[in-house]
Amino acid sequence: MSAVSMASAPKSKFPEYLDGDVLLILSSTQQFKLHSQVLSTHSTFFAQEIAAKPAARLTAQARRDHAAAYRFEYVPTSQPDGIGKWVRKDLNSEGRIPRNSMPLMPDFANGTASNDNPTHKAWEWLFGIFYNREPAFVNNGLVAIVSEIIVLMEVADSVGSTDHVRDVVDLTLLRQDRLLWNSIMNNSVAWLELGRRVRSPTVFSEAAIHLIGQWCTLPENVKEQVSSDLRPLIERKADLLDLEKEAIEMRILGHYPQFLLRTAAEKPGRPSYANDIYMWMSVSFFRQWFAQNVSDDRTRRAPDGGLNFYTALSEGGQAYLSHTDFQEFHRFFPMSIKACHVVEANMGVFKEDIKPLVEGLMVENTHLKRADCRTITWLTCATVERDELPWQTISADAGNEGRTGDQSLQNLYAELDKENDNAAMLAQHDRNKKLRKRSKPAAAVAPAPAISKPTSSTSTSGPARRRKRLRVIEDDETEDEFGDGSGLFVPEPTKHHNGDRMDEAE
């Protein structure tokens, strides 16, 4: 092909492709010639319309002239801000309508053709997105961008193309970065509704997380601004967060350092437990401090939802129960200098055990972090799953979602209770087994460790020797020397050997 013929060849590009088989008449001054396969892939409306009736059977001359086999005309709505509809027109073999179509109204404004119609601009952007063309939003601030995005989403929704536009909208909003996140944080209620309108998972989730974190402390008039169909989601998530905080507080109050735990096989006694006295003092001191915070409503009932309290627990160290607090404690309960250091060191170990318990509450699922914005005084650990977004298909069991979430925490409580019951049963079993080993083989009903007087058969063998008085094990004695480590010396039962009675060892 010569250079002259190549230069004279018509161009094939958006919005009019030479091989396009669908002609879309938007107005008297704007039209598109696109591909039916592309439209059917990106729009449920066009897919149904194209499949409903076969394409026009074009003549050879019409095909050489690149005539379209489908024709759609846009019919505006009578409402000022409404979105019109596309109407398919029948074509003859020449690619023309068989009779005169209703003439399209020229898009004039004050006698001049208008190229600033926001709806027409949105249609051009939508069809461009089908061909991977990015919309040219006016970068005159967040308000202008959002206004254009809303119109784009409305036209996309009218032809069933929202799924293909959502990522473009998200990307456009994300480019606003900190300006967007600050706006969502300061006006979460408005952005929650806006995120639903533009169907942006990022924007909707960001606004929802901010609302969930401060829902319990928001004034009622602010809560009433949330749409009635969105409020149940926020309330359910806020209740789940509150239950999670309650469960974590229960775990903290019931926590014991691992090295304090014993098993019955170890035969623990007072000498063994005496080594843990400083840790028990630390546990007692911590629980007194924790109870005081609960009493003063500084935990989950605090105005900040417990943010400062849980943050202190996650930081540990000197964030709470500092060295100054211990000095005040020892002013009323004096101890040696070494003992003071040991108690404080044990508290440090206990604080490290507490940190993992509150890790989940410290997660920040918002783009704007507390380190960058000190005005965020609430927890942002909530999550909004994709199937919880309001524009997703809601199953028949949607009403049970809240109860399902609540039940999961109730099951957690039940599991904890079951573990405690099993531990108690195991401890009782070990105690019974231990008592059976210490009892006489031939004993039938004699309860241990009661001490009875010698029977008549034993008294006839000779005068009974005076029994030793029970005595408490001292700190310098070991449990292996005396009994079971319970603090009492229990004499062994009387034994007979070759007719001679053997009393307990001196």
Cα–Cα nearest to 33, from 52, 53, 51, 10: 10
Gap between the Cα atoms of 203 and 183, Å rounded: 11
Question: Are 364 and 380 within 8 A, CB to CB?
Answer: yes
pLDDT score recorded for residue 114: 46
pLDDT, residue 489, reads: 35
**Nearest residue to 150 via CA among 195, 207, 210:** 195
How far is Cα 155 from Cα 84, in angstroms, rounded to an integer?
9
d(CA 264, CA 279): 21
Residue 115's pLDDT is what? 54
Beta-carbon contacts of 68 under 8 Å, excluding residues fewer than 6 positions away, are 20, 21, 22, 23, 33, 91, 95
**495-497 and 112-113: which strand pairing?**
unpaired
Its pTM stands at 0.66
The pLDDT tens digits along the chain (506 residues) read 444 444 445 667 899 999 899 999 999 899 999 999 999 999 999 999 999 998 888 888 888 888 899 999 999 988 877 899 999 998 888 878 876 555 555 554 433 334 578 999 999 999 999 999 999 988 778 888 988 999 999 999 999 999 899 889 989 998 988 999 999 999 999 999 989 988 889 999 999 999 999 999 999 999 999 999 999 999 999 999 999 999 999 999 999 998 888 887 777 778 778 888 999 999 999 999 999 999 999 999 999 999 999 999 999 999 999 999 999 999 999 999 999 999 999 999 999 999 999 999 999 999 999 998 999 999 999 999 999 999 884 433 444 444 443 443 444 445 445 555 655 566 666 666 666 665 544 433 333 333 334 444 444 444 444 444 434 334 444 444 434 433 333 344 444 444 444 444 33
CA distance 273 to 288: 21
Inter-residue contact 19 to 66 (CB < 8 Å):
yes
Please enumerate in sequence order all residues whose Cβ is within 8 A of that of 107, keeping only pairs 6 or more positions apart, or say none. Answer: 27, 28, 29, 30, 113, 114, 117, 120
**DSSP tally for the chain: helices H, then strands E:** 19, 8
Contacts of 205 (CB under 8 A, 6+ apart): 195, 365, 383, 384
The per-residue pLDDT for 142 is: 86
**Nearest residue to 343 via CA among 327, 320, 363, 366:** 327
